[in-house]
Structure 1
Amino acid sequence: MDKMREEKIKKFEEFVDVRLKPDLLLAVSQRDKLFEEQKVFSDLKRSIEILQKNEVTSLRTMVNIGSEVYLQADVPDTRRIFVDVGLGFHVEFTWSEALEFIAVKEARIARHIEESTQLIAGIKARIKLVCEGIRELLMLPG
């Protein structure tokens, strides 16, 4: 009977280590990427609102051209901007069009974050359930 119990414990531990923990790490990583994307769109929205409020039509800025190398850039007309819409495509928007797109994108990202959070909670619950099963097999007090 002890041999059978030890095998079950080993299988449960292996399931947690090989399947559930990597799934949890992947889900947390994907949710973190969603949080980063949400921040990018939030920053863009705030920038557009500042440009609108101050009625800025031209701009001088520093642009990162890669490897933290910056170049000074003059933007003669800020009323139209290019927004990354995904899959490497950029679309030219007016400020109001960009704000509408950002609102839709933020709502979609928020839904995905909520789904990821629920997935993470489910994985954590399964880990606790398996650990509780191991505890019972070892006949340890709660």
Structure 2
Amino acid sequence: MGDSIQEKIARYETFVNEGLRKDLKDTLDARDAIYDQISEYLKLAKDIEVIKDNGLTEMKTQVDLGSNFYAQAKIPDTTYIFVNIGFGFHAQLTLDEALAFITKKEAHLQKKAEKYTEKAAQIRAHIKIVLEAMAEVMKLNNTPRPRNLEL
């Protein structure tokens, strides 16, 4: 009977470490990616405000080509900008249209991030429940607690 309990504890330990903790990491990574998107949109909104406040009709800037490799760029007309609207599509918008889009997009992304935060909290709760149940079973059977499990 003692072997049976040890086997069950080992299965629960595997479930926590390989299942729940991996799900938690994936969920938090997805939420962080959304926060990165929000940050990019907020930077764009700030840049648009600078263009509008200073009445810039043309400007020079640096463009990230990827992997933090920048190139000089000259924008001859700031009347319109191209905004990433998702799924690999860009739309040509006026500055005011772009600000309105960014406001809506940021609110949408915040809601998605909140859902991931709630999911992460649920996964943390499941981990805690399983670990507490394992601790209770081990206490009842005077089984030493595995070293790699923490509440």
State TM-score, norm by structure 2. Answer: 0.87
More relative contact order, 1 or 2 (CA 8 Å, 6+ apart): 1
* Structure-2 separation of matches of 1:2 and 1:30: 41
Give the aligned partner of residue 47 of structure 1: 47
Is 1:117 the counterpart of 2:117? The answer is yes
* Structure-2 separation of matches of 1:69 and 1:116: 32
Give the aligned partner of residue 136 of structure 2: 136
Give the aligned partner of residue 91 of structure 2: 91
Instruction: Give the deviation of 1:66 after TM superposition.
Output: 4.1
Give the aligned partner of residue 2 of structure 1: 2
Is 1:57 the counterpart of 2:42? The answer is no
* Structure-2 separation of matches of 1:70 and 1:43: 17
* Structure-1 separation of matches of 2:64 and 2:115: 34
Sequence identity percentage: 38
Which residue identity does 1:23 align to in structure 2?
Answer: D
* Structure-1 separation of matches of 2:11 and 2:26: 22
Give the aligned partner of residue 78 of structure 1: 78
Gaps of 5+ in 2: 143-151
Which residue identity does 2:54 align to in structure 1?
Answer: N
Residue 56 of structure 2 aligns to a residue whose secondary structure is: coil
Residue 47 of structure 2 aligns to a residue whose secondary structure is: helix
Which residue identity does 1:65 align to in structure 2?
Answer: L
Is 1:105 the counterpart of 2:123? The answer is no
Give the aligned partner of residue 13 of structure 1: 13
Let me know the Cα RMSD of the aligned residues.
1.4
Residue 77 of structure 2 aligns to a residue whose secondary structure is: coil
* Structure-1 separation of matches of 2:67 and 2:138: 54
Give the aligned partner of residue 29 of structure 2: 29
Instruction: Give the deviation of 1:88 after TM superposition.
Output: 1.1
Which residue identity does 2:117 align to in structure 1?
Answer: T
Gaps of 5+ in 1: none
1:68 to 1:121, Cα distance in 2 relative to 1, 3 A: closer
Instruction: Give the deviation of 1:65 after TM superposition.
Output: 3.2
Instruction: Give the deviation of 1:7 after TM superposition.
Output: 2.0
| Higher deviation after alignment, 36-45 or 10-19 | 10-19
| Higher deviation after alignment, 47-56 or 62-71 | 62-71
Aligned length: 140
